[in-house]
A and B are shown apart, each in its own frame.
Chain A
Amino acid sequence: MSSVHVQRRSMMFRARSFMAFVFTPQPPIVEWLTELDASLERSTGFFVGHPVVLDLAGVQLSAPAIAHLIANLEERKIRVLGIEGVEPEVGETGLPPILRGGRGTRSFELPESQPAAAEPPAPLPPQKPASLMIEDPVRSGQSVVFIDGDVTVLGSVGSGAEIVAGGSIHIYGTLRGRAMAGAAGNARARIFCHRVEAELLAINSYYKTAEDIEDSLRHGPAQAWLEGDVLKMAALN
């Protein structure tokens, strides 16, 4: 008989990528904070609960100064998930972890803020098509974030659930929650759904809440797209 020996399985860790907003403070920091306050005023609470990364390559800050800046952001309910563009030693001071290798996306406009002078979007490098297919209903409280491409949901998206896609969003059931397409700065992304009862639709950060969705479109199949800075909707048939 062969001897039985128990082999310990190595522990499994899953990797997951999330989209974070990158803040690039410019000197003088005090003025930069004032500017930030001005934009936040137009979009209250926008960053609450969303991960934020501080890119400090453009400023020379000591570890205590960084800590002070983070405290200032925290007062504005902005939680810093990690920092970029600093010397590795800074990482040993109890500050958020130093991040490396983040993939850039185009810049992001706060909703409701005045549209900046339209800068011609840099053509994206050709990349292989990426899409995420979800076969089950997306339930209240669940958040599906897929920045690399399109998201297709075969079932419904419940009230209080959200889909965030770098590309377009296709929902074959009823959309009762939130759909945010083109989330990494793609103005050509669209949202299609078999039945709109949405709480919020957004493309490239321009959004419409339930109140702004025309009654004539509710309960039917519809699509949403961006024309300039206007989120348009039309029935699909």
Chain B
Amino acid sequence: MAQVLVVTSGKGGVGKTTSTAALGAALAHDGEKVVVIDFDVGLRNLDLVMGAERRVVFDLINVIHGVAKLHQALIRDKRLENLCLLPASQTRDKDALTEEGVAAVIAELRTKFDWIICDSPAGIERGATLAMRHADAAIIVTNPEVSSVRDSDRIIGLLDSKTAKAERGERVEKHLLITRYHSSRAARGEMLSIDDVLEILSTPLLGIIPESEEVLRASNIGSPVTLCNALSAPARAYFDAARRLKGDKVPMIVPSDNRGIFNKLFGRKAA
């Protein structure tokens, strides 16, 4: 059965697009059929991070408005044939997304893919609520700082009220992904600790992604970090998170500065 995931946060710049691309590529690398959808209409990014910006012909809005068929708008990844991108339009705004249009696109994608990963725009407005609308599960991306955590708390409230699942009286499964984790700053107490974040959000942890130059390097060459340098610390953390999404039990590791080696074992149970 296809799984629809929304990658969401409330706040911008926390790593939603980076995580969508990295997790999508990690799942596809493990043989799953994956499509990543950019819901950030007007400010699209996912095409750049995936390195597909020069191949965009049609986009999500064209499909919704019947200008293009879904298969015409899907862009197949050059590295992994079972990974596709459905780009956003850069020229339109979020009002061009319609409730019925999004429902129809998601329903059709469910018949073709194992994983449908929706990259949400920041905010709590139309784009963000439509991105989460049909989700079976949500990945809440949070940086270990108070404003990001509070925005995530707000988003979790919306996941419990504004989604199709919530309206049917069901629950959207929730996973917390802590990104841009800076071990030295955490040690100096300059960031919230992992425990603080988990306590405030009381949501199961999917993974902890360290702050890393590799992420920037990967996005500059238009590659998800999990494909660009699969052995780097952030890529390994994303691979582990992807396996947890599939239900595997993978021990949680807190990234440490110790020459990039993951050391401290973290006893917390994963999602």
Cβ B202 vs Cβ A155 within 8 A = yes
When C-beta atoms are compared, the residue in chain A nearest to B203 turns out to be: A137
Residue A79, interface by CB 8 Å: no
Task: Evaluate whether A142 and B157 lie within 8 angstroms (CB atoms) in the complex, with A158-B150, A159-B150, A160-B150 already known.
Answer: yes
- Report A-chain residues with C-beta under 8 Å of the C-beta of B160: 136, 139
**Least Cβ distance of B69 to chain A in Å?**
32
Cβ B150 vs Cβ A156 within 8 A = no
Q: Which size bracket describes the interface of B in this complex?
A: 10 to 19
Residue B154, interface by CB 8 Å: yes
Q: State in angstroms the CA–CA spacing of A139 and B200 once bound together.
A: 10
- Report A-chain residues with C-beta under 8 Å of the C-beta of B150: 140, 158-160
Q: State in angstroms the CA–CA spacing of A173 and B202 once bound together.
A: 10
Cβ B199 vs Cβ A174 within 8 A = yes
Cβ A140 vs Cβ B199 within 8 A = no
Q: Which of B146, B157, B199 contacts A139 (CB 8 A)?
A: B157
Cβ B157 vs Cβ A141 within 8 A = yes
Cβ A140 vs Cβ B154 within 8 A = yes
Residue A178, interface by CB 8 Å: no
Residue B156, interface by CB 8 Å: yes
Number of residue pairs A-B, CB distance < 8 angstroms: 41
Residue A176, interface by CB 8 Å: yes
- Report B-chain residues with C-beta under 8 Å of the C-beta of A176: 200
Binary interface profile of A, 146-185, with partner B (CB < 8 Å = 1, else 0)? Answer: 0000000001101111000000000001101000000000
- Report B-chain residues with C-beta under 8 Å of the C-beta of A142: 157
Q: Which size bracket describes the interface of A in this complex?
A: 10 to 19
Task: Evaluate whether A160 and B153 lie within 8 angstroms (CB atoms) in the complex, with A136-B160, A139-B160 already known.
Answer: yes
When C-beta atoms are compared, the residue in chain A nearest to B202 turns out to be: A137
**Least Cβ distance of A153 to chain B in Å?**
12
Residue B151, interface by CB 8 Å: yes
Interface centre among B146, B151, B157, B199 (most CB of A within 10 A): B157
- Report A-chain residues with C-beta under 8 Å of the C-beta of B124: 141
Q: State in angstroms the CA–CA spacing of A19 and B154 once bound together.
A: 23
**Least Cβ distance of A127 to chain B in Å?**
30
Binary interface profile of B, 161-189, with partner A (CB < 8 Å = 1, else 0)? Answer: 00000000000000000000000000000
Query: For window 186-243 of chain B, which residues contact chain A by CB distance below 8 Å?
Result: 199-200, 202
**Least Cβ distance of A139 to chain B in Å?**
3
Binary interface profile of A, 53-74, with partner B (CB < 8 Å = 1, else 0)? Answer: 0000000000000000000000
Query: For window 109-156 of chain A, which residues contact chain B by CB distance below 8 Å?
Result: 136-142, 155-156
When C-beta atoms are compared, the residue in chain B nearest to A137 turns out to be: B202
**Least Cβ distance of A176 to chain B in Å?**
7
Cβ A140 vs Cβ B151 within 8 A = yes
When C-beta atoms are compared, the residue in chain B nearest to A155 turns out to be: B202
- Report A-chain residues with C-beta under 8 Å of the C-beta of B200: 156, 158, 174, 176
Binary interface profile of A, 19-59, with partner B (CB < 8 Å = 1, else 0)? Answer: 00000000000000000000000000000000000000000
Binary interface profile of B, 41-58, with partner A (CB < 8 Å = 1, else 0)? Answer: 000000000000000000
Q: Which of A140, A156, A160, A161 contacts B202 (CB 8 A)?
A: A156
Q: State in angstroms the CA–CA spacing of A174 and B200 once bound together.
A: 8
Q: State in angstroms the CA–CA spacing of A140 and B200 once bound together.
A: 11
Q: State in angstroms the CA–CA spacing of A224 and B199 once bound together.
A: 24
- Give B residues with C-beta under 8 Å from A: 124, 146, 150-151, 153-154, 156-158, 160, 199-200, 202
Can you report 21 A-B residue pairs in the complex whose CB atoms are below 8 A from each other?
Answer: A139-B154, A139-B156, A139-B157, A140-B150, A140-B154, A141-B154, A141-B158, A156-B199, A156-B200, A156-B202, A158-B153, A158-B154, A158-B157, A158-B200, A159-B146, A159-B150, A160-B154, A161-B153, A173-B202, A174-B200, A176-B200
- Give A residues with C-beta under 8 Å from B: 136-142, 155-156, 158-161, 173-174, 176
Closest 5 CB pairs of A and B: A139-B157, A140-B153, A140-B154, A158-B153, A141-B154
